[in-house]
Amino acid sequence: MLLLASSLAQAQTVQIEYRDKPPYSYTERGRPAGFLLLRTIELLEQAKVEAEFLEVPVKRILQDIEGNQAPICSPSWYKLPEREKFARFSLPIHQDKPHVVLAHAQAAKAIQRHAKLSALFADPQLTPGLLDGVSYGAELDQALAQTRKPAVRARLNPGQLARMIAAQRADYMLIDQEDLGWLRNDPEFNSLNLVRFEFPDMPAGLLRYLMCSRQVDPAVLERVNQAIRQRLPELAGRG
């Protein structure tokens, strides 16, 4: 029976659903791309896990993993308590840098008056813009839900939200530094006249994981974890 279980785990093919979120994951010339998706491919190859790759909208990924109808994993997710209720997580495969704030130029002076992020969130005159349906991490999610001036929520990607900020439909936004570095490659983005701010009380960057449906065999996930321990020992120790 143990041999049979091992054979089944070895044979299981996992569907890797990834979102269009450069530079982490995206499709280029019909193939998976992005530094964290390529890292995932290397880990799966080392773990000898067969995988199929599919770009999927972010909300459908959550629905598919929660629905648990197939062995599915998706890279680059935060491990949040509400997700742990329906998903299995690997050891961490990346740690973010702290978020930064982007604001339109007209709001810059008002933002500069605030020495801390908590004071910015308490300002009744400044409106944050948020990506709807996306987590900024539990600590920031809670703080953003309680800003003095309610946030403008939009079903956009970071680049589109930044353009909305530049058009003064909201005053500022939080952005992942990897996202911002990617956007800086676009000359059109650099012409938006946005101002970057860093705050000393910004929470530390969160760990990102492979999030998997419970159809993924635990033995398969353990092989992936062993590959993480070998390739990313410092990150594995934080998981």
Domain edges within the chain? 2-95+206-236, 100-197
At the fourth CATH level, which superfamily is domain 100-197? Answer: Periplasmic binding protein-like II (3.40.190.10)
One-letter identity of residue 85: K
Q: Which residues contact 233 (CB under 8 A, 6 or more apart)?
A: none
What are the two backbone dihedrals, phi and then psi, of residue 101, each rounded to the nearest 5 degrees? -105, 135
CA nearest to 17, candidates 68, 49, 65: 65
Dihedral angle over CA of 195, 139, 21, 183, nearest 10: 10
Enter the DSSP assignment of 125.
T
Copy the structure tokens of residue 94. 């990346």
Q: What is the rounded CA–CA span in Å between residue 169 and residue 83?
A: 32
* CATH tag for 2-95+206-236 (out of 3.40.190.10, 3.40.50.2020, 1.10.20.140, 3.40.390.30): 3.40.190.10
**In a structure prediction context, what are the per-residue pLDDT tens digits for the chain, which is 239 residues long?**
333 334 444 579 999 999 999 999 999 999 999 999 999 999 999 999 999 999 999 889 999 999 999 999 999 999 999 999 999 999 999 999 999 999 999 999 999 999 999 999 999 999 999 998 888 999 999 999 999 999 999 888 899 999 999 999 999 999 999 999 999 999 999 999 999 999 999 999 999 999 999 999 999 999 999 999 999 999 999 87
Same fold, 2-95+206-236 and 100-197: yes
> What is the distance of C-alpha 43 from the center of its chain?
18
Supply the pTM of this predicted model.
Answer: 0.86
